[in-house]
């Protein structure tokens, strides 16, 4: 997959977040990635590892965002591992949602390359 990933290409039908709220949630992830993403990798096809720079309130922000995302997209498993200067966010999905994970990885890379006001 190349280019900017749009919502309609990767939000699965199993997502229960109302369609009108989906752009807002995506914007929250984009802002987090643009402001805090220090690195990302796909160690295997069903697992994404993100490294975010820490700071005051960042861990709480990440935990709140992934808790809300888990509430509407139960196929995600998020693990937040705080450290003194970085927060590691591990994201796992089942085989049926591999393309969603790939799109999230691409979205993170895209957002990290641009400025978010």
- All domains of the chain in start order, with CATH: 21-112 (3.30.1360.40)
Q: Are 65 and 29 in contact (CB under 8 A)?
A: yes
Residue among 61, 31, 50, 58 nearest 101 (CA): 50
pLDDT digits (tens, 9 = 90+) for 57-82: 999 999 999 999 888 888 899 999 99
Residues 87 and 104: their CA atoms lie apart, in Å, by 17
What string of pLDDT tens digits covers the 117 residues of the chain?
A: 333 334 445 566 666 565 667 778 788 999 999 999 999 999 999 999 999 999 999 999 999 999 998 888 888 999 999 998 999 999 999 998 899 899 899 989 887 776 544
SS3 state of residue 83: coil
């Amino acid at each position: 997959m190349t280019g900017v990933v749009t919502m309609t290409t990767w939000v699965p039908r199993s997502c229960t977040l109302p369609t009108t709220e989906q752009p807002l949630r995506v914007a929250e992830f984009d802002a987090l990635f643009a402001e805090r993403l220090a690195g990302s990798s796909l160690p295997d096809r069903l697992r994404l590892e993100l490294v975010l720079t820490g700071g005051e309130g960042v861990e709480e922000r990440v935990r709140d965002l992934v808790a809300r995302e888990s509430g509407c997209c139960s196929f995600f498993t998020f693990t937040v591992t705080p450290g003194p200067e970085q927060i590691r966010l591990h994201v796992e999905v089942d085989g049926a949602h591999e393309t969603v994970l790939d799109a999230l990885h691409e979205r993170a890379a895209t957002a990290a390359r641009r400025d978010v006001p």
